[in-house]
Chains A and B, each alone.
Chain A
Amino acid sequence: MLIDIQQANANAIAAIQASQPVLKGIGTALEVVPGMKKNLILHAGPPITWERMSGPLRGAVMGALIYEGLANTPEEAEKLAATDKIEYSPWHEHDGVGPMAGVGTASMPVWILEEQKGGRKTFCTLNEGLGKVLRYGAYSEEVITRLKWMETVLAPVLKAAIPLAPEINLKNMIAQALQMGDEVHNRNKAATSLLIRELAPAIVKTSFPETDKARVLEFMHSNDHFFLNLSMPAAKMMLQAAEWIEGSTIVTTMCRNGTDFGIRIAGLKERWFTGQAQIVKGLLFPGFSEEDCNPDIGDSAITETCGLGGFSMAAAPAIVKFVGGTVNDAMNFTRKMYEITDGESQAFQIPNMEFRGSPLGINLLKVCEKNVLPQINTGIAHKKAGVGQVGAGLVNPPLKCFEDALEAYVEKYCKDE
């Protein structure tokens, strides 16, 4: 095969740079997510069975079954979840992403993003806020009540507002947020504010009761992470542009399900390479210790895969107060990531590095050769189902998934060398 890897990777990065994800609207998962079914539960990370699921993912599945009316109690839900009546699939195989446990089911409202010039769509549920929430594995009554309010009030109001607002180009919004101290993984304060600024006038123009409109605005305002569920599908859409370019060694997916960390490579169509999800080192909420922490979980590492999150920490020095480390560490993480990437983002620029483009296009070969792992910052879930978030911190993928991917790459392209 006469494939020039350098050229294939340049093509992959050019495709990522050209992608322009815009906010199209809100839909119900069953109606808009490809392959969605009433008995299907979408989750974060690579494929996994109920038997191997970690506590927070199990908790989120149980909560989702109660939310869908398929079970009345956590005990009933746990029993049902283990049967073949319920099917599981990764969000990534349905053009979507899910933060932390990332559980998505038929009735849940989802953001719909579309390529500006038309065509591809990506999806993500709406962010519930911090603390006791489904995505951290909590399933108590307050969690289900909030999800129902999101389905019956938040989503309809936003769905009506989006067509009344100017087109929201999420790539541009993320680029602006980086100039304002976000990295749009664990710091979304600026991006959430920018989103509210665009949507608020349109929300006011809708015909919903004033109390509903006020509550929607208060909900968005009270949650600094509201934008995360847009930065993630935006990153997913940009990276999908590089799938599946023959011969390219660019990483298009990094994600975790709380048990396994999984990656996919542009030139190795749809194949998963997995290793053990690692323990996150970081800052824990009062009353919790490292023993309480579940291993790394969530699709949010799609931001790092796209040059954001841990790769853009130099743009977000304040984040160290949330995930740990020093401002100097944040600068060094970004500098280090240039060693394993092939490009620099044209859109995402880091002000305190003279507006250098963020490190973009993780090259599998460079990760293996330099033995430098991608830097991820992330939330930490309690390892037991039903508890929720216990902190936030820093983590790396296991080297094994990159080594396995390299082996598969050689097997496919150059085993006779």
Chain B
Amino acid sequence: MLKDFFGKKVKVINLGIASFAEDLRKQGVETVHTDWRPPAGGNKKIQALLDKVASWQSKVKSAKGAR
């Protein structure tokens, strides 16, 4: 049993696939589901482009703050 595996009552935070949380709940495990997805759906090219925007904006905010 999952409970015995850790030797004490398990509380679970589930990230991503909702059915995992449902399965745990059916087994009586206290579970909180978080609707999390990898940024940009896991698309590395898009993530790299978003990182460039974030880096630029960080510099913009620093420059404006220094004024």
Contacts and interface: CB of A to CB of B under 8 A. Distances in A.
Interface of A: 1-5, 365, 368-371, 403, 406-407, 409-410, 413-415, 417
Counting chain B residues whose Cβ lies within 8 A of the other chain, the interface size class is: 10 to 19
B10 interface: no
A335 to B, nearest CB: 11
A368 B40 contact: yes
Interface string B31-67: 0000001011101011001111101110011011000
Contacts of A4: 57, 60-61, 64
Given A365-B50, A369-B50, A406-B50, A414 B56 contact: yes
Nearest to B41: A371
Contacts of A406: 46, 49-50, 53
Nearest to A402: B46
A371 B37 contact: yes
B37 to A, nearest CB: 6
Given A2-B63, A3-B60, A406-B46, A365 B40 contact: no
Given A4-B61, A369-B40, A371-B41, A415 B52 contact: yes
B35 to A, nearest CB: 10
Most buried by A among B50, B53, B63: B53
A279 B50 CA distance: 29
A3 B64 CA distance: 10
B49 A5 contact: no
Question: B interface, by DSSP: helix, strand, loop or mixed?
Answer: helix
A413 B56 CA distance: 9
A410 B40 contact: no
Contacts of A5: 53, 57
Given A414-B55, A414-B56, A403 B46 contact: yes
24 contacts: A3-B60, A4-B57, A4-B60, A4-B61, A4-B64, A5-B53, A368-B49, A368-B50, A369-B39, A369-B40, A369-B50, A370-B37, A370-B39, A371-B43, A403-B46, A406-B46, A406-B49, A409-B53, A413-B56, A414-B52, A414-B55, A414-B56, A417-B51, A417-B53
Given A4-B64, A406-B49, 6 more contacts: A4-B60, A4-B61, A5-B53, A365-B53, A403-B45, A406-B53
B52 A371 contact: no
A3 B53 CA distance: 11
Nearest to A339: B35
A351 B61 CA distance: 38
B46 to A, nearest CB: 5
A34 to B, nearest CB: 34
Given A5-B57, A369-B39, A369-B40, A410 B49 contact: yes
Contacts of B39: 369-370
B15 to A, nearest CB: 15
Contacts of B63: 2
A407 B40 CA distance: 13
Contacts of A403: 43, 45-46
Contacts of A409: 53
A348 B45 CA distance: 36
Contacts of A369: 39-40, 50
